[in-house]
Amino acid sequence: MAQIGLWRINLFLLLILSFFIFSCEDDKKKEKQQTTETEKPVKTTFIPLEKPDFSEDSAYLYVQQQVDFGPRFPNNEAHGKCAIFLKNKLASFGFSTQIQEGKATTFNNKNITIKNIIGTYNPTATKRILLFAHWDTRPFADHDDKDRTKPILGANDGASGVGILLEVARQINITQPEIGIDIIFFDAEDYGQPSSLMSPSSAETWCLGSQYWARNPHIPGYKADFGILLDMVGGPNPQFTKESISMRYAPNIVRKVWDVAKRLGHQHVFVDKETYFVGTDDHQYVNEIANIPSIDIIHFEESTGSFHQSWHTHDDNMDIINKSTLKIVGETVLGVIYNEK
């Protein structure tokens, strides 16, 4: 009986030891499996977007129609005629439209009447996107080698962004997205103080129309989820970089727009690079005063540290307007709109 009892005790101890060994091995397998799964690189799925309909021919025509009025700066005759044209054009695409008038004083103490053209689609929608560009032109060619005191046509610097947004409005009228869209053509953006003056420069002499609207929105308490500014978006061989003001106030919106551009196949134009330039633009005041996170799609020549060579010169005419550029920007803006829920 004693020998049988000892055998049973040894067998019991052996079973316990075996269980312990197998449990440890199992734990090691689990630990190894968890480690392997953790070390696996996270794969992001790239989902291309179908390119929305956007007519570069229509956008080009809308740019041409603005330029045909001649230089369009506050208080001149062409400016008044073009304001009515833009208001009526937006209205023809089903937008509720108005011209917001305000008073301002320029850097050289001229009293001007600001005319911001505003169009509203689906006014009852709570989710809204604000799209904007400036429609006025520089009243002098201060970056040109000749005729510096004469006004420019502003085909790219002004008319290109407006032309694209008019075609965007036409497409919205066709597709009828569920979200709300507001389009504003800001005035007096380009009446700022020339850098050649001996007096200290002031950024607030620029973007007078957006400053006025931001302090006096067309609807009290107006809000949008985000805003997109188009400026100098019609030139050849553009590069749209992630500029500093946009990255300071609305980096998530920059990433949203650049991601849509990439999914549309336009990453060679909407490049993944941050740039800084001295100056301001309409979206700064929309951010700072109206508190709407907004970004700027703007052509910036990184090699020269400036804008397109036609900037504020008499070369800013229809000769530099590129239909392919208009289409790329227009498709991207529409892609952003259609991708919002």
At residue 47, the pLDDT reads: 87
Task: Classify 2 in phi/psi space as left (phi over 0), alpha (psi -120 to 50) or beta.
Answer: alpha
* DSSP secondary structure of 230-279: EES--SSS--EEEEHHHHHH-HHHHHHHHHHHHHTT-TTTEEEEEE--SS
Q: Supply the Cα-derived Rg of the chain in whole angstroms.
A: 29
Would 175 be classed as within a structural domain? yes
Residue carrying the six token digits 């850098």: 195
**Per-residue pLDDT reduced to its tens digit, 265-297:** 999 999 999 998 767 899 999 999 999 999 999
In 23-179, the DSSP E strands lie at 96-105, 111-121, 128-134
For the stretch 8-34, pLDDT in tens is 434 444 444 444 444 444 444 444 444
More confident residue, 188 or 47: 188
Q: What gap in Å lies between CA 79 and CA 75, rounded to an integer?
A: 7
The pLDDT mean for the chain works out to 88
pLDDT band at 304 (very low <50, low <70, confident <90, very high): confident
Taking a C-beta distance cutoff of 8 angstroms, is the pair 97, 87 a contact?
Answer: yes
Q: Which residue has the higher pLDDT, 4 or 282?
A: 282
Tell me phi and psi for residue 265, to 5 degrees. 90, 20
> How far, in Å, CA of 237 to CA of 297, rounded?
14
pLDDT for position 279: 78
Q: Assess if residue 259 is contained within a domain.
A: yes
Is it the case that residue 112 has pLDDT exceeding 50?
yes
- For the segment 298-314, the average pLDDT, to the nearest whole number, is 86
Q: Which residue has the higher pLDDT, 37 or 220?
A: 220
What is the pLDDT at residue 306?
A: 78
Report yes or no on 182 lying in a domain. Answer: yes
Instruction: Note whether residue 104 is domain-resident.
Output: yes
Give me 298's structure tokens: 């703007």
Q: 11, 17 in Cβ contact below 8 A?
A: no
Domain count of the chain?
A: 1
Could you read off the pLDDT of 187-217 as tens digits, one per residue? 999 999 987 765 666 789 999 999 999 999 9
In a domain, 3, yes or no: no
Q: Which residue has the tokens 């129309």?
A: 209
Q: 94 or 42, which is more confident? A: 94
Which CATH number covers residue 66? 3.40.630.10
Kindly state the tokens that stand for 117: 């053209």
In a domain, 38, yes or no: no
pTM, to two decimals: 0.86
| 216 or 36, which is more confident | 216
Mean pLDDT of 94-113: 97
Q: Is residue 31 part of a domain?
A: no
What local confidence, expressed as pLDDT, does residue 277 receive?
A: 74
294-298 and 226-231 beta bridge pairing = parallel
Q: Could you list the residue range(s) of the whole structural domain that residue 168 is in?
A: 56-339
Within a domain: 34: no
**Whether residue 137 has pLDDT greater than 50:** yes
The model's pLDDT over 59-76, given as tens digits with 9 standing for 90+, comes to 999 999 999 999 999 999
Q: Pick the range with the lowest mean pLDDT from 42-51, 55-64, 124-133, 226-235.
A: 42-51
Q: What is the pLDDT of residue 278?
A: 67
pLDDT at site 300: 85
Q: Please report the pLDDT score of residue 339 as a whole number.
A: 96
Average confidence (pLDDT) over 124-144: 97
pLDDT score at 233:
98
**163 contacts 180 by C-beta, under 8 angstroms:** no
Q: What does the pLDDT read at residue 318? A: 98
Q: Taking residues 144-150, what's their average pLDDT?
A: 95
